[in-house]
Amino acid sequence: MKRYVAYRVAVTMPVLLGVLVVGFLLMQVVPSDPAAVRAGPQASAEVVAALREEMGLNRALPMRFALYLRQLARGDLGRSLINDAPVATELGRAIGPSMELMTACLLWSVPVAVALGTFAAYRRNSVFDRAIVMLSIGAASVPVFFVGLLAIWIGGFWWQLLPFTGRGGPFWTRAGLASLVLPAFTLGFVLLGAVVRITRTAVLDALSSDHVRTARAKGLSEWSVTLRHALRNALIPIVTLVGLQIGYLIGGAVATEIIFSWPGMGRLAVNAITSSDLPMAQGAILVIAAAFVLTNLAVDLLQLLLDPRIRR
């Protein structure tokens, strides 16, 4: 078990290094001069040239990457070209709202999806099963921006029940919780379809296994067999899918945060790219990619706890 954990952690390190390299190179091919952005539109060519020398932009690419790694080792992500604020400080402010959105999304969508998928497997080929399957297909097919616009129209304009612009405050406040509902619903609806389908398939496979037939032979009810035996063994593929989907949710969170003006990592990254704030964009991309890699590592370790066969 210890060797497996050490192996997974060791494999993650080159992936994180690759993320660093790709993120750094992507920012180098952007058709924008960071020195010109920092100097402003009215700056002379001499001022821009002096800033390029000060920022090290005239050095060779490998040397700039080495300097970038040295900065990261000190915990320094650079400074914004727009407001000269530390990138780490701005990212720290955006991580909290993004974590709130992701957590709220998972808290409502995963239990609902697992319950619907299990019920569909329990009532296989019934009207309820077909309705749940159609719902899952629709949820997986609809783009996140369409769901967001529909939620704004219904919940914000038509019913006028919930705010749909900005973050009202921390989630433990009434205003903060109200402003979180529509973005969390939008992002969670995208996850719902995939988890419903994998849960239904995994529970159906588990219901045909030998240990489930033994449980039925002992006289247990079908509902008890489904919940206590089939669903427990179906958790492994469900956990795997949810972990993988979290990475895709990061991409969906970008659109969701823009639609609802949510001050998270995705909106910060898009604003930094559109304003040619390369240090800010580079830091945001690095944090988002690292979150994706570390989430996959956490899923692998969680599978180790759920599946005893991996520990052998």
What is the full DSSP assignment across 181-233? HHHHHHHHHHHHHHHHHHHHHHHHHHHTSHHHHHHHHTT--HHHHIIIIIHHH
- Write the CB contacts of 212 (distance below 8 Å, at least 6 apart in sequence): 206, 225, 229, 230
Count of beta carbons in the 10 Å neighbourhood of residue 192? 23
How confident is the model at residue 308, as a pLDDT?
61
Least confident among 26-35, 128-137, 233-242: 26-35
Tokens of 192: 């719902």
Distance CA 95, CA 86 (A): 15
Under a CB-based contact definition with an 8 Å cutoff, are residues 77 and 33 in contact?
no
Task: Determine contact, residues 139/190, Cβ cutoff 8 Å.
Answer: yes
CA–CA distance, 162 with 152 (Å, rounded to integer): 9
Q: Is residue 202 part of a domain?
A: yes
- Average pLDDT, rounded, for the chain: 82
**Position 79 in a domain:** no
Q: Pick the range with the lowest mean pLDDT from 13-17, 33-37, 47-51, 190-194.
A: 33-37
Q: Kindly state whether residues 35 and 160 are assigned to the same domain.
A: no
| Same domain? 260 vs 184 | yes
Find out whether 296 and 244 touch, Cβ atoms under 8 Å.
yes
* Contact between residue 303 and residue 310 where contact means Cβ atoms under 8 Å apart: yes
Give the count of beta carbons closer than 10 Å to the beta carbon of residue 73: 8
The answer, yes or no, to whether residue 33 has pLDDT greater than 80, is no
**Do 140 and 188 reside in the same domain of the chain?**
yes
How confident is the model over 170-203, as pLDDT tens digits? 888 888 889 999 999 998 988 888 899 888 888 8
86, β-bridge pairs: 79
| Calculated CA dihedral for residues 59, 82, 274, 97, nearest 10 degrees | 120
Q: Which of 39, 74, 109 is the last residue of a domain?
A: 74
Residues 152 and 150: their CA atoms lie apart, in Å, by 5
**CA–CA gap between residue 176 and residue 174 (Å, rounded):** 5
Q: Are 12 and 292 in contact (CB under 8 A)?
A: no
Q: 102 and 26 in one domain?
A: no
**What pLDDT does residue 185 have?**
93
Structural domain tally of the chain?
2
Judgement on whether residues 70 and 193 belong to the same structural domain of the protein: no
209 vs 114, higher pLDDT: 114
pTM of the model: 0.81
End-to-end Cα, the chain, rounded Å: 7
Tell whether 60 and 105 lie within a shared domain. no
Structural domain boundaries enclosing 4: 1-74
Give me the phi and psi of 79, to 5 degrees please: -125, 150
Clarify whether residues 22 and 63 are in a common domain. Answer: yes
Who wins on pLDDT, 115 or 292? Answer: 115
